[in-house]
Structure 1
Amino acid sequence: MQKKSVIHSKYNSLRDKVLGAIINFEEFEEILGDAERNIIKIVTIDSKKYTIKSFKIPNFFNQIVYRFFRKSKAERSYEYANKLLKLAINTPFPVAYQTETTSFLFKKSYYVSKLINCDLTYRELTTDFDIPDHEEILRAFTRFTYKLHKNGVNFLDHSPGNTLIERKEGGYEFYLVDLNRMEFGIMDFKTRIKNFAKLTIHRSMIEIMSNEYAACSGEDEQKIFDLMWQYTKEFQHHYYRKIRIKKRIFFWKEKYKNKISESPI
């Protein structure tokens, strides 16, 4: 197995400890969030906490793609984090990444960053409307998104769980996570508004975001709302259609699981 390890220059003094934490990843028990595909664990190095994200080994075809033609998710996360920080856009500080390959196939990859102890994520805004500063946070988040767009950052996974929120005196800090899908460059109006499509199904939240985005951009508020609402509905339609198709294709897996669970043995 061939390993490629990159450590940020600010963490050269911790190189051995960081790489040791990656090697011993399976031994750590504190898991952050729901581990459906990729697993994120919290580790302590010299009394400070970090996260290590272990990416799932891709399917056979993508093992070839990532081995020869495309950068790994861990490498992209590391590079994009550094780009964001240069643009004064917050993300947990990128400490390191490591990839493991054979001569012909890509296998494991890991991304290490500082742990941010956030107060909430955008997701809580979509489920708890009793948060006292709910609208203030939502408007600040919209201004943050406008800042992304002005800096040419198209965060393709701009979804509820991928923005961490910290309350600060006099305002809020927002941190982007799950960075491996991004595009950089000038964004036209429709692309900017479409970037809100995955965030919420609630019309009231879209009304607030479109109002605030209009204030930031100088664009017509009704035009923004109509397009934002349209893209939101389209995304929801495609999302649930995809789920229904998957259920039809993989229904046999559920049948097999049920037969196993019903077996008397």
Structure 2
Amino acid sequence: MKFFINNKFEYILKKVTFLIDNFLIEGKILVNGQRNTIKLFKVEDITLNIKSFKKPNLINKIAYRYFRKSKARRSFEFASKLMEMQIGTPNPVAFFENYDFIGLKESYYACEHLENVFEFREIVQNEAFENRDFIIRKFTQFTFEMHEKGIEFLDHSPGNTLIRKNTDGSYSFFLVDLNRMKFHESLDFKTRMKNLSKITHKKDMIVVMSNEYAKLSGEDETIIFETMWGLTADFQYRFHRKKRIKKKLKFWKK
């Protein structure tokens, strides 16, 4: 097994390694998907969130050994970089990789579990959500800060930002599912707008986001809205077309 652990958490290395070795029989299931499994583990005073990535196919087994970093390693390294750049994300603890004679067999990413948070998705789905407009604006400020620092989060979707309401009434934002990110010297306007195109299909939200982004960037609000709305429509079309194709393929397989 190959691993790397955050120096801050070296004191629990043996316990975390034991949990990885016994991942199938230990822990509380948080997500049990077709692709990845996430479990929670209590280790001393910490609740660990450990993600087991889907076992790679033959080509990816080889690729992750010789040509590309594993999703677990990228998640850890990107989380560490976000922490350095003061962008919210759960505290990275460690990543683990198991290899066989062909290549990567399994990989795991461990981070501290965040309590008392909700997904931005709830804001999209619930138009009566408390302080909805205020949270959308704060989320836009969070995204703008990320863009200003040259961060392109390729999976910037409503399920990948967690939000915590603080005791003083403010809100904190945390990025999760980090294995697809790019870091640039700067981001051009089109890339910024495209990065927001997966957030919501709701026009009222895009109006608010456009207004707030215009205040922060100095760009023309109408141009921001028209660009963001057009890219969102393109994304929604491609997303639903892909779903229709998958549905047809599944039908013919029956």
Normalised by the length of structure 2, the TM-score is 0.96
The equivalent residue for 1:134 is: 132
1:36 matched to 2:15? The reply is: no
Displacement of 1:33 after TM fit? 3.7
Aligned pair in 2 of structure 1 residues 197, 166: CA closer, same or farther (>3 Å)? same
Cα distance in 1 between the residues matched to 2:174 and 2:192? 19
Displacement of 1:105 after TM fit? 2.0
The 3-state SS of whatever aligns with 2:159 is helix
Cα distance in 1 between the residues matched to 2:10 and 2:239? 43
The equivalent residue for 1:160 is: 158
Matches within 5 A, 1:84-95: 84-95=82-93
The equivalent residue for 2:181 is: 182
Cα distance in 2 between the residues matched to 1:48 and 1:85? 18
The equivalent residue for 1:261 is: none
Displacement of 1:239 after TM fit? 0.7
Cα distance in 1 between the residues matched to 2:46 and 2:9? 12
Displacement of 1:34 after TM fit? 5.3
The equivalent residue for 1:99 is: 97
1:247 matched to 2:236? The reply is: no
Aligned pair in 2 of structure 1 residues 144, 50: CA closer, same or farther (>3 Å)? same
Cα distance in 2 between the residues matched to 1:108 and 1:54? 8
Q: Is the 8 A contact 1:118 1:164 kept in 2?
A: no
The equivalent residue for 1:208 is: 208
Displacement of 1:136 after TM fit? 0.7
1:172 matched to 2:139? The reply is: no
The 3-state SS of whatever aligns with 2:28 is coil
Aligned pair in 2 of structure 1 residues 118, 196: CA closer, same or farther (>3 Å)? farther
Percent of matched pairs sharing the same residue: 47
Normalised by the length of structure 1, the TM-score is 0.92
Displacement of 1:36 after TM fit? 3.1
Cα distance in 1 between the residues matched to 2:101 and 2:177? 28
Displacement of 1:32 after TM fit? 1.7
Q: Is the 8 A contact 1:32 1:41 kept in 2?
A: yes
Cα distance in 1 between the residues matched to 2:68 and 2:128? 44
The equivalent residue for 2:14 is: 16
Displacement of 1:170 after TM fit? 4.0
- Please provide the CA RMSD for this pair: 1.2
Cα distance in 2 between the residues matched to 1:85 and 1:93? 8
The 3-state SS of whatever aligns with 1:26 is coil
Moved over 4 A (4+): none
Displacement of 1:103 after TM fit? 2.5
The 3-state SS of whatever aligns with 1:222 is helix
Count residues in correspondence: 252
The equivalent residue for 2:48 is: 50
1:60 matched to 2:49? The reply is: no
Cα distance in 1 between the residues matched to 2:77 and 2:116? 23
The 3-state SS of whatever aligns with 1:92 is coil
Displacement of 1:132 after TM fit? 1.6
**Structure 2: runs of 5+ lacking an equivalent:** none
Displacement of 1:28 after TM fit? 2.7
Cα distance in 2 between the residues matched to 1:29 and 1:94? 18
Aligned pair in 2 of structure 1 residues 117, 11: CA closer, same or farther (>3 Å)? same
